[in-house]
Structure 1
Amino acid sequence: MLSLKNVYFFQAGIGILANTSLLVFHIIAIHQFPRPRPTDMITCQLAFVHIVMLLTTLDISLADMSKSLGFPNELKCKVLLYMSRVSRGLSISTTCLLSIVQVITISPSSFFLSRFKHKLTKHVAIAFFCICCFSLCSNSNMIIYTVAHSNRTNLFSVSKYCSLISVNSTVRALFLVLMLSQNIFFVGIMLLSSMYMVIFLCSHQRKSEYLHSMSISPRISPAKQATCTVLVLVSFFVIMYCVDIIISSFSFILWKYEPVVLDIQRMVGNIYATVSPLVFISSDKRIVGILKKVLCMCQTVKELMK
């Protein structure tokens, strides 16, 4: 049990560090390069959402911090669980938005969504504002049903300090259906966009083979590389989401949480938030270039200090 918690905290620490680095690198890249990519803003938003999500799951440390600030237990539980649900909702919706924007970016002029290409940055900001409002409203029930631990027996424990008020099976099933329907909608959009990107990559591969047969050296275009990155992230998210939803739905239906199951579910739910920034950093040549410049500067300073 102790080793499982250590792995969980280590995973959250790596995820927070990686997402913070990704956020800083993209802010630098947006200001340094004259033509930022349409996906840069979404990557920054996704990194920030994952930082909030990972921080809220560290409820033990945040609980101690809130106690030192004098916040009541009830308020602490409502804020932590509400922000956790909102950030998880924003994670899936922002990933869905990233896949849609990538489809628009690579689509030809004949594609019906290509008319948004010229003002994509503006539309991304509006879309992110809309999904933020939607996530804040759709998870507002957490404020009502979240309570601190007490001697009551009809509570559903979701953390060491917090619980949910027991509701009848009809209301519980309604909440489950609403949560699954909105998540299935986002996952469905991601799968459709992934199919389009796979078709695009196959078509691009055939063109590359044709150029290679004509002794023209094919190059991997930035659009193709970005498409591969988004495709990997979407595929990985869908797999981890399916595993997470099976565990959480099973526990939600039974209205019972075991501590080990709680830690495992959090680890599974945080895998995407931990791995996605590493994929972004390793696949972005601009970030790799910034890292090389930083290393060269460090080596120069080290040589001057000798």
Structure 2
Amino acid sequence: MLLLKNVYFIQAGIGILANAFFLIFHSFTIQQVHRLRPTDITTCHLAFVHLVMLLTTLDILSEDMFQLWNFPNELKCKLLFYLSRVTRGLSISTTCLLSIIQVITISPASFCLSRFKHKLTSYIVFAFFSFWSLNLYTNSYVIIYTVAHSNRTNLLNVSKYCSLSSMNSIIMALVLTLGLSQSGLFVGLMLLSSMYMVVCLCSHQRKSAYLHSMSISPRISPIKRATRTVLVLVSFFVIMYCLDIIISSFSTRLWRYEPVVVDIQRLVGNVYATVSPLVLISSDKRIIHLMQNVIDMATILK
């Protein structure tokens, strides 16, 4: 259990630093350019959501951080768990939006979504507002049913300090239906957009092979590189999401606090929030160029 806790803190630390670095870098970059790329706005939003998610779950897990806040335990539980649920919903919806944006970006003029290509920025702002409103509303039940930990037996413990009180069967069915419908819709859209991107990449690969046979050196275009990055992110998210559902189902059936199961669930649930900024950083030539310049400067100073 202590080993899992240490691994989780290391994972959260890496994720917080990576998301913060990505967010700060792009915040300065966005100020210097006159035209914003839709993918930059979306990845910045994703990094911000993941940063809040990791900080929130870190507060729930850490005894020192939890006791540091000068608020009643009940209020802390409601606030932290509510933010945790909202940010998880925003993570899946923003990743879905990123995949759809990439599909629109690479689609030909004959594609039905191509008419949105020139007004993507304004549509993205509306999408963000919709996602925040949807997740704040659908997770509002957490504020009502989250309580500070007590010795009552009809509680589902979500951490060492916070629990969920039992719900009416109708309310529970409604919550599960809304949650599964929302997640199923976004995952389904991600899978469809992933299939479209795979088809586009295969078509581009055939063209590259033809150019190579004509002794023309094919270069990997920025759009192709961005498409591969989004495809990696979406695929990794779907795998981690399915694994998280399996562990969450097992944890819910126990209906008691099992520290090992809860720690494993958080570890798996936050893997995507930790890995996604690393993938985005490694695929961004601007960041790689900046890091190379820093390394070269450090070498010269030595």
TM-score normalized by structure 2?
0.95
C-alpha contact 2:251 2:262 (8 A) present in aligned 1: no
How far, CA to CA, are the matches of 1:35 and 1:106 in structure 2? 18
Give the partner amino acid of 2:182. Answer: Q
What secondary structure, in the 3-state scheme, does the structure 1 residue paired with 2:270 have?
helix
- Residue 94 of structure 2: aligned partner: 94
How far, CA to CA, are the matches of 1:287 and 1:36 in structure 2? 17
Give the partner amino acid of 1:45. Answer: H
- Residue 201 of structure 2: aligned partner: 201
C-alpha contact 1:56 1:62 (8 A) present in aligned 2: no
Shift of residue 248, structure 1, vs aligned partner? 0.9
Seq. identity, %: 71
Change (3 A) 1:189 1:78: same
For 1:84-123, what per-residue CA distance to the aligned partner results, in whole angstroms no more than 9, with x for missing partners?
A: 0000000000000000000011111111111111121121
Which runs of 5 or more structure 1 residues have no equivalent in the other structure? none
- Residue 20 of structure 1: aligned partner: 20
Map 1:73-112; keep pairs closer than 5 Å. 73-112=73-112
C-alpha contact 2:61 2:159 (8 A) present in aligned 1: no
Change (3 A) 1:99 1:172: same
Shift of residue 33, structure 1, vs aligned partner? 4.7
Map 1:130-141; keep pairs closer than 5 Å. 130-141=130-141
Mean Cα displacement is larger for which, 187-196 or 31-40?
31-40
Shift of residue 60, structure 1, vs aligned partner? 4.7
C-alpha contact 1:158 1:262 (8 A) present in aligned 2: yes
- Residue 129 of structure 2: aligned partner: 129
What secondary structure, in the 3-state scheme, does the structure 1 residue paired with 2:113 have?
helix
Map 1:219-258; keep pairs closer than 5 Å. 219-258=219-258
How far, CA to CA, are the matches of 1:245 and 1:57 in structure 2? 17
C-alpha contact 2:107 2:114 (8 A) present in aligned 1: yes
How far, CA to CA, are the matches of 1:69 and 1:268 in structure 2? 27
Map 1:28-107; keep pairs closer than 5 Å. 28-33=28-33, 35-60=35-60, 64-65=64-65, 67-107=67-107
Change (3 A) 1:61 1:188: closer
For 1:41-93, what per-residue CA distance to the aligned partner results, in whole angstroms no more than 9, with x for missing partners?
A: 01100000000000111135766446444201010000000000000000000
C-alpha contact 2:60 2:80 (8 A) present in aligned 1: no
Change (3 A) 1:257 1:150: closer
- Residue 284 of structure 1: aligned partner: 284
How far, CA to CA, are the matches of 1:95 and 1:214 in structure 2? 38
- Residue 213 of structure 1: aligned partner: 213
Q: Does 1:156 align with 2:156?
A: yes
C-alpha contact 1:156 1:257 (8 A) present in aligned 2: yes
TM-score normalized by structure 1?
0.94
Shift of residue 287, structure 1, vs aligned partner? 1.1
How far, CA to CA, are the matches of 2:181 and 2:261 in structure 1? 24
Give the partner amino acid of 1:175. Answer: V
CA RMSD of aligned residues (A): 1.7
Shift of residue 201, structure 1, vs aligned partner? 0.3
Mean Cα displacement is larger for which, 112-121 or 253-262?
253-262
For 1:277-298, what per-residue CA distance to the aligned partner results, in whole angstroms no more than 9, with x for missing partners?
A: 1100111111111222333444
Number of residue pairs matched by the alignment: 302
Shift of residue 139, structure 1, vs aligned partner? 0.3
